[in-house]
Amino acid sequence: NAGVTQTPKFRILKIGQSMTLQCTQDMNHNYMYWYRQDPGMGLKLIYYSVGAGITDKGEVPNGYNVSRSTTEDFPLRLELAAPSQTSVYFCASSSASEPTNYGYTFGSGTRLTVV
């Protein structure tokens, strides 16, 4: 059981470049999330989805876009990379019926540097 799989693990982007961070889960979870974590800071919610075809903005959505065409996949798109987007990005998922017992399952993270 793979859980939540994120790719790539590391990436260096130049200012203005674009990229997509991939996230796939095989637990049939309805809820999926994208967070960023800056050093010494708490996790900040970028976007979330409550099911295929439904997405919504979190606390810090500017500069990002998402889509949810299937239950399994929730890619995060950066269109014009800026140095302020240098961070560690985590994808997470949860079952709508039991988020309290098991919490969120996180992917291993993507460390992104924009230069």
Partner 1 sequence: GQNIDQPTEMTATEGAIVQINCTYQTSGFNGLFWYQQHAGEAPTFLSYNVLDGLEEKGRFSSFLSRSKGYSYLLLKELQMKDSASYLCAVTDSNYQLIWGAGTKLIIKP
Question: Where do contacts with partner 1 occur on this chain (CB under 8 A)?
Answer: 40-45, 58, 90, 100-109
Using alpha carbons only, give the angle 5, 7, 11 rounded to the nearest 5 degrees: 150
Nearer to partner 1, 17 or 60 (CB): 60
Please report where in the chains the tokens 């960023």 appear, as a residue. 36
Nearer to partner 1, 17 or 88 (CB): 88
Cα–Cα distances in Å, from 28 out to 25, 46, 100, 108?
7, 21, 17, 18
CB of 27 to partner 1, least distance (A): 13
CB of 73 to partner 1, least distance (A): 18
CB of 110 to partner 1, least distance (A): 11
Nearer to partner 1, 58 or 75 (CB): 58
Structure tokens at 15: 């200012």
